[in-house]
Amino acid sequence: MQYALLIYEDETLYGPGKKGPAIQDIVSRHMAFNRELGAKRVGGSGLAATSSATTIRTTRGKHSVHDGPFAEAKEQLGGFYLIEAKDLDEAIAIAKQVPVLQDGSIEIRPVLGPG
Amino acid sequence: MSGAALERVFREASGRIVGALAARFRNLALAEDVFSEACARALEDWSAKSVPTDPAAWLYQVAARAALDGLRRRRTHARFECQLSADFDTDPADLDDEAVIPDERLRLIFICCHPAVGVDARAALTLRLVCGLSTLEIARAFLVSEATMAQRLTRAKSKIADAGVPFELPAPRFWPERLDAVLATIEIAYGKAHEDAAASGPHAHFAAEMLELTSTLVHLIPDEAEPAAVAAMVRLAEARRPARIDSRGLMVPLSEQDPQRWQRPLIDEAIGYLNRASALRPDAVRVIQAKIHAAWCSRRTLQSPPPWPQVMSLYDSLLTRRDDPIVRLNRLVAVAEVHGIEAALSELESLDGGLLRHFAPYHAVRADLLRRLGRAADARCAYDEALLRTSTHAERKWLTRQRGLVLEPQS
């Protein structure tokens, strides 16, 4: 099956526009983790800070464009992995190794369609 | 065979058959559906002809065939092609020879108790699939409507299917973290059997089921203390069953039960499990709880003094590990015997009544203390509160008798 691992962290830890010193640290840890994942990594990427986000909302067929992320919260979606795992237990084991700077949450979501 | 007897056959077969089907077809909802289908077929078939010599094997074969037919029909739909794995693609012919149903109940329990399933839903799902309770019975036990429970069960099954919860037993390194959920579920399920003191109700076979499951669990996970502690607890509680109700159907409180009517072989077996658990982790919560049961079961005759001081000190150490109002309430029963009724009542009144007020034993303990202190009017009120919240027949009869023992104050 394929799973998306959605990484939620407090992005202010990475400084304004995610350009602080901590970003170097986490990027090198993600690169090491990528190498470890090998063929199990199907895709994924870090995301720019939510200050760069634009949200299109659709209400009764009408689009409206908004500045900012979909939801304001303490932790924001900061990146994701798309992985290949045998089952949820393997996905959980992999998700536990996803690097986070301090506190954070990894949401595991099965990918729809033939996995 | 009567309707009730048939229902019992279905119920007893449920865990094994649904477990085996779920393991084989990797689909809980399918396993449950085809099992119901097989039960419906049995109702028609068995009343027209006769009951097969091995009803469970009959049910399993019919259910497995229905599952295969269903899957074959669905296979025409390309989307399902990839979901059909080789293991049930190949062997429909073997089915007829299959007399033995593989015991996959432990696997089924680990699936039902996966941490990805909501806490509430785990026990409910286990009771439904492993123990064969009806949705209505589970709804009653969990104090929700049948529709709410049905929805909760359906949601849990979809979560298991959609999230890709594995149908294999977890690798041993995952067992410790997966275990607590499994043990809590077994405790809840055994609790249902224990409530039914006369073992004549619909949960009667639960107890045997739990004895077997706990011993399998200890066998599979020998290095953890708590499975052995639960195995001990279930046996100690079960050993006392013959003494829990008197000839008139009244509940007999633990301290008044005749130890000679307790089942010694079960107690001996339990002590073996407890020693094992105690050697691994003597201060684990479930190990201390099992020791409390064991303290009671060490009593040999009704003439020897009840082990109140030992029970109280075990509750004291339990409190250091788990401090909750129910542990405190249980401890007070021993406190009354060791330090006196006044002391117990004043501690009881200082407990947080918010949660306890809805709990029948709180009122029963309070009523007993008030009665023994001669506070007649208060005692009667407390008995009424207890009776209002007690559903089992034997307990109601006992409470009613106790209420009758309240003496009018001398004027």
Q: Do A88 and B116 touch (CB under 8 A)?
A: yes
Domain count within chain B: 2
**Domain that includes residue B344, residue range:** 339-411
Q: Which two tokens stand for residue B74?
A: 């669905």
Give the one of B116, B164, B171 whose C-beta lies nearest to A1's C-beta: B164
Q: What is the pLDDT of residue B86?
A: 42
Cβ contact A108–B170 (<8 Å): no
Pairing between strand A105-110 and A41-46? unpaired
Three-state DSSP class for B293?
helix
User: Do β-strands A54-59 and A76-84 pair in parallel, antiparallel, or remain unpaired?
Assistant: unpaired
Is residue A75 domain-resident? yes
Q: In one letter, which amino acid is B52?
A: P
B302 occurs within a structural domain: no
What pLDDT score does B87 carry? 44
Report if pTM > 0.80: no
Q: Answer whether residue B219 is part of any domain.
A: no
Q: Pick from B82, B164, B171: which is nearest to A88 by CB?
A: B164
Quickly state the pLDDT bin for A7 (edges 50, 70, 90): very high
Is the Cβ pair A110, B163 closer than 8 Å? Answer: yes
Looking at B82, B100, B118, which one is the last position of a domain?
B100
- Dihedral sign of CA atoms A61, A64, A68, A73 in order: negative
The closest CB to that of A89, out of B79, B162, B166, belongs to B166
- Domain assignment present for A115: no
Mean pLDDT by 10 residues, chain B (411 residues): 78 87 91 94 86 90 93 69 46 50 83 86 86 81 84 93 89 78 83 72 68 84 92 95 92 95 96 98 96 96 95 96 91 96 94 82 95 95 94 90 86 54
Residues B217, B182: contact at Cβ < 8 Å?
yes
**Domain of residue A75, residue span:** 2-110
Instruction: Please list, residue by residue across A63-92, b when 16 or more beta carbons sit within 10 angstroms of its beta carbon and e when fewer do.
Output: eeeeeebeeeeeebbbbbbebbbebbbbbb
Question: So what's the pLDDT on residue B99?
Answer: 55
The residue of chain B nearest to residue A85, with distances taken between CA atoms, is: B164
Last residue of a domain, one of B100, B124, B159: B100
The answer to the question of residue B245 being in a domain is: no
Pick the residue from chain A with its C-alpha nearest to B26: A87
pLDDT tens, residue by residue, A66-103: 888 988 888 999 999 999 999 999 999 999 999 999 99
Q: State whether ipTM is beyond 0.95.
A: no
Instruction: Give residue B203's pLDDT.
Output: 59
Question: Considering its fold, how many domains does chain A have in total?
Answer: 1
User: In this predicted structure, what is the pLDDT of residue B244?
Assistant: 93
The answer as to whether B125 is a domain residue is: no
Chain A nearest CA to B162, separation (Å): 7
Last residue of a domain, one of B79, B100, B121: B100
Q: Would the CB atoms of A87 and B174 count as touching at under 8 Å?
A: no
CB contact under 8 A, A88 and B174: no
In a domain, B133, yes or no: no
Domain-located, residue B68: yes
Tokens of B120: 């509430």
| Residue A98 falls inside a structural domain | yes
User: Which residue of A88, A96, A106 to mutate against B (max B Cβ within 10 Å)?
Assistant: A88
A110·B82 Cβ contact <8 A: no
Report which of B32, B206, B237, B38 is spatially closest to residue B127, judged by C-alpha positions: B206
